Amino acid sequence: MKARIAVLFVVFCAVLVRAETARIVRMKVTAYCPCTKCCGQDACGLTSTGRDAYTLGVAADPKLLPYGTKLEIPGIGIRTVDDTGGAMRKDARRGIYHIDIRFRTHQEARNFGVKWLDVKILK
């Protein structure tokens, strides 16, 4: 019984710590894919961190959201920051959190559009 209580206490504390480290920020959320329309003629299929651009991820200003930051995006799920872009860095200089969700196809990115969402930063 004591062991079971100890395990429950540890799980409860882990949940509390995770809740304290997460914060919610209103962000401009756009979408892109690895194609040349979205990434330019020099698109090489890699993110700025060297990751395969055909995997799911997020671009952001690494000064606001460092590479490796996990984000919980409403309607999308949990994605990791692994890329950046000029629009995200420009908005960051204006005090705006802007993330760009990477989709596998151009049509998926276009369908997503532009939204303002409350995104949870999980760290």
Quick one: which of 54, 35, 48 has its CA closest to 85?
48
**Predicted structure pTM score:** 0.80
SS3 24: strand
Residue with tokens 């990751």: 51
The tens digit of pLDDT for each residue in 76-105 reads 999 999 999 999 999 999 999 999 999 999
- Length of the chain (residues): 123
The tens digit of pLDDT for each residue in 24-55 reads 999 999 999 998 889 888 888 889 999 999 99
The domain containing residue 62 runs over which residues? 23-121
Q: What is the CATH number of the domain that holds 30?
A: 2.40.40.10
Question: How is residue 107 written in tokens?
Answer: 């049509």
**Has residue 93 been placed in a domain?**
yes
- Domains of the chain: total: 1
